Structure 1
Amino acid sequence: MATFVFIHGGFHGGWCWHKVTARLEAQGHRAIAPDMAGHGIDPTPRYTVTMDLIVSRLCELIDGIDGPVALIGHSLGGAVMSNVAERRAEKIERLYYVTAFLLANGDSTHGTLQRRKKGGTQSGLSDDGAQLLPSLDSVRDLFYHLCSDDDVALAKMLLVPENAVVALGPVSVTPERWGKIPRYFVECTQDKAIPPELQRKMHVEMGCTRYWEIPADHSPFFSLPDALVEILLTR
């Protein structure tokens, strides 16, 4: 039995992994999908949420789990996961970046997106002071264009604003800790939020033990959960 801990991306909550966790649990594995601070049903005031707070809470969760864990990070959750892995390298046996930000030491999600934006890619997000808000009119095309109507309706009810300082939070990793953990990347070839060429650039430059390509949008936990589970169980 393996223990999987899922780290959701911006705007989402642990709820987005429900299809994947249910499939893993049905096969006898332990699957944990917490809400990051200020997301989902976590009551932390959103204006107080920082990258460090999110990472510290996840480290506390991992400290309470017996045995090694595999971490899975999606989108912004990839940057969060790298920071968690650096702090708890001794507890983590594998890292899976699912169309996620796999960044070098000192880089941030915001910095990566800004460089990409200057190249002409639009994020589909509006900046409302300290909060980043997804336009509900654009989220289907940006995040869920291969997902069912039911999945899109659920997401629209549960998405929350993202505190911009989280995306500004840098990744802090070292070769001695994070760098020693096997890294895997799931490249989603139909993603409109993180284009495949950017996904590929990240996992090629940062190096991964293995990567997979699947014909999914930005939300494979909805659109291709069986393919994702198969990858997670491949050793």
Structure 2
Amino acid sequence: MAAFVLIHGAGDVGWYWHLVEAELRARGHETIAPDLPCEDDSAGLPSYADVVVDAIGGRTGLIVVAQSFGGFIAPLVCDRVAVELLVLVAPMIPAPGESPAAYWAATGYDKEPRAGYDDTIELFYQDVAPELAAEALRRGRGQSEARMGEPSPLRAWPDVPTRVLICRDDRLFPARYLRRVARERLGVTPDEIDGGHTPALSRPRELADRLEAYAATVVKGP
């Protein structure tokens, strides 16, 4: 069985993964979903990685799963602990030495055709049940931008098998955009599922199925 390390996105909390955690635990896996220090102006990317590494402790058989901005944190974690597989979901995919603030221009985000959405639910949670979307907004936190201009300490992509899973109806990171970024930055063709930017809330069972299938390719059974 695997130990899934679940890294949430910007301005969020580990609760984002709670439905996926329930699915994975019911199947015998272990899950860890720490809260990142999103509101801490003193916390840079290494501090975010520290929180995740501390939560991992001495666990082995690790599958690191990162959503959205968590893609900046996950490769730093993989540089510091032994990881079987890295899975990026609706992700940001950083280049070595790139800052989160520089990511948008570097990936040509603003040049991609996409519709604009002023409403947070319409942008992030369009396919999430209304009561669950409301709870996600209530639990969300402000995201500090104080150190987002600092270069990532990532020197090279970690030597860990990496899968990219994108969402066909993602309004923040359109599928066409992420297909291109995954190809240019990792040389991979991403896998795809239906749904918007937050599949852990809209399609937890389907996402758990995908994660378990990925884990089966690298982690032996008990």
- Aligned residues: CA RMSD: 2.3
Identify the match of residue 100 of structure 2 among 109, 113, 121: 109
1:25 paired residue number: 25
CA distance in 2, matches of 1:170, 1:185: 23
CA distance in 1, matches of 2:79, 2:114: 31
SS at match of 1:55: helix
- Output the amino acid matched with 2:204: P
Identity %: 27
Match of 1:84 among 56, 60, 77: 77
Which of 185, 191, 208 aligns to 2:170? It is 191
Partner of 2:151: 170
Query: Does residue 233 in structure 1 map to residue 212 in structure 2?
Result: yes
TM-score norm. by structure 2 comes to 0.86
Aligned equivalent of 1:153, options 134, 143, 148: 134
| Unmatched 5+ stretches in structure 2 | 218-222
Match of 2:45 in 1: 51
Pairwise CA distance, 1:110: 1.9
Once the two structures are superposed, the pairs formed by residues 207-226 of structure 1 within 5 Å of their partners are 207=186, 211-226=190-205
SS in 2 for 1:4: strand
| Segment drifting more, 25-34 vs 208-217 | 208-217
Q: Which has the higher strand share?
A: 1
Q: Which amino acid aligns with 2:15?
A: W
Q: Distance in 2 between matches of 1:174 and 1:49?
A: 20
- The 3-state SS of whatever aligns with 1:56 is helix
3-state SS of 2:34 partner? coil
Change over 3 Å in CA distance of 1:124–1:109 after alignment to 2: farther
What whole-Å deviation, never above 9, does each CA across 1:100-139 have from its counterpart, x for those lacking one? 11121112332122454542778979xxxxxxxxxxx721
**How far, CA to CA, are the matches of 2:212 and 2:11 in structure 1?**
27
Specify the code of the residue in structure 1 equivalent to 2:50. S
